[in-house]
Amino acid sequence: MTAAGRPVVFVDHRFPAEYADLVEGRADLVGLGGDDGLARADGLLVGAARRWDGPALDAAARARVVSRIGVGYDNVDVGAANARRITVCTTPWAPAVSTAEHALALILAVTKRLPAQIERARRAERAEPVGRALELDGRTLGLVGLGRIASRVAVAAQALGMRVIAHDPLLDASAVPGVELVDLAALLAGADVVSLHAPALPETHHLIGAPALAAMRTGSYLVNCARGSLVDTDALLAALQSGHLAGAGLDVTEPEPLPADHPLLARADVVVTPHVASSTVAGRRRLYQHSIDNLLAVLAGGPADVVGERFPAPIDEIPDERSMP
């Protein structure tokens, strides 16, 4: 704490000036891309670039909380934090709306063949003599995962007239009315568009590899706004090159970013965005707001309002998303 009684918060990146009002009078920020102040920080506000393992946490000897600006613990060793009695929080609700909208945008972009059509317009060419875009009304969307983001995608897809099926091993009943839960094999075989919304775990690494891609319908589409490691990039490229898949929309890739000369980037049937699904004006502000609120709530002795794993035990109840700002 400072002499004024405000907590010292270490930020492992440059803090955006437009969010200064979220901490003004509430905390003193240090670090901001360097290491100054790490040893005296009461809490850590961290992005996705820097790894926070045991040695890094030992350097933050006073820290009682690590608050991730985002979803997932890819760069935070939760076990090492818990062993040091450090709470770890994430912001699972903050990016849900923006990411769901981005997933829908990618679905529309690839099924309507927008990259190819934009190129034709730039070359002053007329429309293709035979329409090859997919009309989504009456088609089937398969959601791999049916959590916060995918549930919103499901509702939007239903509004477009799509049938929606989903695979989620954590659910025994659909979270969205009208969505049928199926096993992964049935989803891959039955969907015209497969959209991925699963976490990055050892068991989901390359979940969509050559066998899964071969099981998808000929002429179907793949969209990934979750984690790049879910998809075997080489196998995806081969499925596109063979014509088995009609297209792909990717906000996340493996590796990330893709090299500038990667073949996927040159394909007219592929849309790649640089992991920006949550980067709307409202989405980015919510990420910072929730992560700061989490950090300060834990330092004040209470639970984080929007929490992931925390020491000594996870919060049992997470607030309804509709109640979040």
Catalytic residue selected from 13, 256, 309, 321: 256
- Picking from 189, 89, 208, the residue whose alpha carbon sits closest to that of residue 145 is 208
Is 275 known to be catalytic? yes
The vertex-17 CA angle with 227 and 105, nearest 5°, equals 35
**Can you tell me which residue has the tokens 């035979």?**
130
Token pair, residue 44, equals 């850590």
Q: What is the identity of the amino acid at 191? A: A
Q: Can you read off the two tokens belonging to residue 284?
A: 């980015």
Q: 151-155 long-range CB contacts below 8 Å, 24 or more apart?
A: 151/175, 151/176, 152/96, 152/97, 152/100, 152/101, 153/100, 153/103, 153/104, 153/107, 153/195, 153/197, 154/179
At residue 97, the 3 state secondary structure works out as: helix
Q: 174, 166 in Cβ contact below 8 A?
A: yes
Q: Which two tokens stand for residue 76?
A: 């935070």
CA distance 45 to 32: 10
CA 162 to chain centre: 23
User: Is 256 one of the catalytic residues?
Assistant: yes
- Of residues 318, 300, 286, the one with CA closest to residue 87: 300
Q: Whole-angstrom Cα distance, residue 325 to residue 323?
A: 7
How far apart are the C-alpha atoms of 220 and 190, rounded to whole Å?
10
Strands 87-89 and 140-144: unpaired
Q: Which residues of 129-138 are buried (b: 16+ CB within 10 A; e: fewer)?
A: eeeeebebee
- Residue from 13, 163, 275, 285 carrying the catalytic annotation: 275
Q: Which residues are CB-contacts of 122 (< 8 A; sequence separation ≥ 6)?
A: none
Catalytic residue among 139, 167, 227, 284: 227
Q: How far apart are the first and last CA of the chain?
A: 28
Catalytically annotated residues: 227, 256, 275
